[in-house]
Chain A
Amino acid sequence: MLPLMVFAVLCVLWESLVWVGVWPEYLLPAPSQVGKYLFKAVIEGTLPNAALVTFRRLIMGYLIGVITGVPLGLLIGRVELFRYTLGWIALGLQALPSICWAPLALLWFGQTEEAMLFIVVMGCVWSVILSTESGVRNVPRIYVWAARTMGSRGLHTWVMVILPAALPFIVNGMKQGWAFAWRSLMAAEIYITIVTGFGLGHLLHFARELHAMDAVLGIMLVIVFVGLLADKICFAPVERWIRERWGALKE
């Protein structure tokens, strides 16, 4: 309740500062104007539609990133050759902001959804790979040994022992990958226009061109909100489960 009140007070303060005229409206619109834009855009459908387009790209790219990243990370963590080849590539490319792939992506895929997806995947896959790898490397040898004496071999050891033992790291990497995917997509949508769908990034871009700062702020709020929601709905329960099982951070 108290945090809510703090936010309410901040909004009122912001609103009154704008109305007093501390700075001109075109530099920073009042919360009420932002609210008006949000209401209008939701009723008209532009905002929900854009959010849907963005979300579809995000989920697709992210899933591809996780589905390829986790097995590759496992492989790098266990096989020496992959560690010194793919492992180094992953480490290098993680340092590259994925929007740098935009020129090549446009060249290879044209102005298509695939180009967008490519940039999102490049944004998130490396951190998923690297976290999975360090997770695998941090699996105590004794777990694998114990499993082997109990008759576990090959795929069974990977799926039933190494993967769950590395889970805290993998989830961490997935969370980081999500954040990177989100940033990559926003950069890509602002930078590249694709006619098959206008996402939140495009809306932001157009709002800037129209100098509609109420829209800019409104869209930014939506982006923040989506990020928070993903954290609370997808990651928080998994993290709670891990804390409960592993017994870290006991209350």
Chain B
Amino acid sequence: MNSTNSKVQPIPKVALRGVSKQFRSKVGFVKALEDISFEVYEGEFLCLVGPSGCGKSTLLNIIAGLERPNTGEVLLDNIPVTGPGSDRMVMFQEPALFPWLDVFQNVIFPLKLKKGLKRQERREVAEFYLNLVGLSSFKRARVHELSGGMKQRVALARALAPNPKILLMDEPFASLDALTREQMYTELQEIWMKRPKTVIFVTHNPREAACLGNRVVVFTPRPGKVKAILKIDLGFPRNINSPEVAEFAQEITDVLKNDSSKQ
């Protein structure tokens, strides 16, 4: 068992400082997130685990700059986040591919918004990432012609193409069947090892978190608070079915179930 991971460096890439969020609903204000603070380091794969409805998707949207916190702030390279930016690409639960574009046009979409790229360069980059996710032969396919797993792979290529510093993933594999999902874990790890990025990955599945994360932030149910931050001391690539991953998954599950909070 490899112990430490060399990719983790002690520079906080993203820092959350006392982030809270509440929503107005029929019964009054509902607290979704309460006083969330943690750091994400450069090149780190950080998983956010919590029960459904603990506000972890909201937290990801706040880091993306799509939603604003009520209090607290998100720092990116020590600068407060005020809105979305292509330095933080998001992979949503649904692929969110544009149906009026074909696969290639979808992947090249963010590149057309990136300044300083020539036409030919854009095409090459898009081809590269389509190839990376193994879909170069589906360049001209329509979105609706793809399977769920293929759609998420296109979404991954689209998110990676503009070379963001940070990749935000919101349960991107939740809607896939078990076999495809396991394949995606392997592919994601391969891609991440080839092109290191800071990744924040939201999931409700402890095993998924144990398989992918350098560290795992465990949330309490409503309102979402940080319950514990666990370090997964395993080398990459990891196999989701290995006993080591299962052991860490058990540890995460224990923390999730445990009522008393520990840090």
Contacts and interface: CB of A to CB of B under 8 A. Distances in A.
Contact of A149 (B85, B100, B114): B85
A151 B113 contact: yes
B162 to A, nearest CB: 7
A142 B170 CA distance: 12
Interface string B244-255: 000000000000
Interface of B: 61, 64-66, 83-86, 88-90, 92, 94, 96, 98-100, 109-110, 113-114, 142-145, 158, 162
Contact of A143 (B65, B96, B114, B162): B96
Interface in A118-157: 140, 142-143, 145-152, 156
A41 to B, nearest CB: 45
Contacts of A39: none
A233 B143 CA distance: 27
A245 B142 contact: yes
Chain B contact surface mostly: loop
A140 B98 CA distance: 10
Chain A contact surface mostly: helix
A142 B113 contact: no
A143 B96 CA distance: 6
Given A142-B92, A244-B142, A245-B142, A149 B66 contact: yes
A193 to B, nearest CB: 46
B99 A245 contact: yes
A146 B142 contact: no
B143 to A, nearest CB: 7
Contacts, number: 66
A35 interface: no
B142 A145 contact: no
B86 A150 contact: yes
A53 interface: no
B86 A247 contact: no
The 9 closest A-B pairs by CB, nearest first: A247-B144, A150-B110, A151-B86, A151-B113, A164-B100, A146-B96, A142-B96, A148-B84, A149-B84
Counting contact residues on chain A (CB < 8 A from B), the size range is: 20 to 34
B90 A246 contact: no
B98 to A, nearest CB: 7
Nearest to A156: B113
A181 interface: no
Interface of A: 140, 142-143, 145-152, 156, 160-161, 164-165, 167, 244-247, 250
Given A145-B96, A161-B98, A165-B100, A150 B162 contact: yes
Contacts of B88: 149
B141 to A, nearest CB: 11
11 contacts: A140-B96, A143-B98, A145-B90, A147-B109, A148-B66, A149-B85, A149-B86, A151-B85, A151-B113, A245-B142, A246-B99
B47 to A, nearest CB: 20
Contact of B94 (A142, A148, A156, A244): A142
Contact of A145 (B66, B85, B100): B66
Contacts of A148: 66, 83-84
Contacts of B64: 145, 149
Contacts of B85: 149, 151
B86 A245 contact: no
A164 B144 CA distance: 16
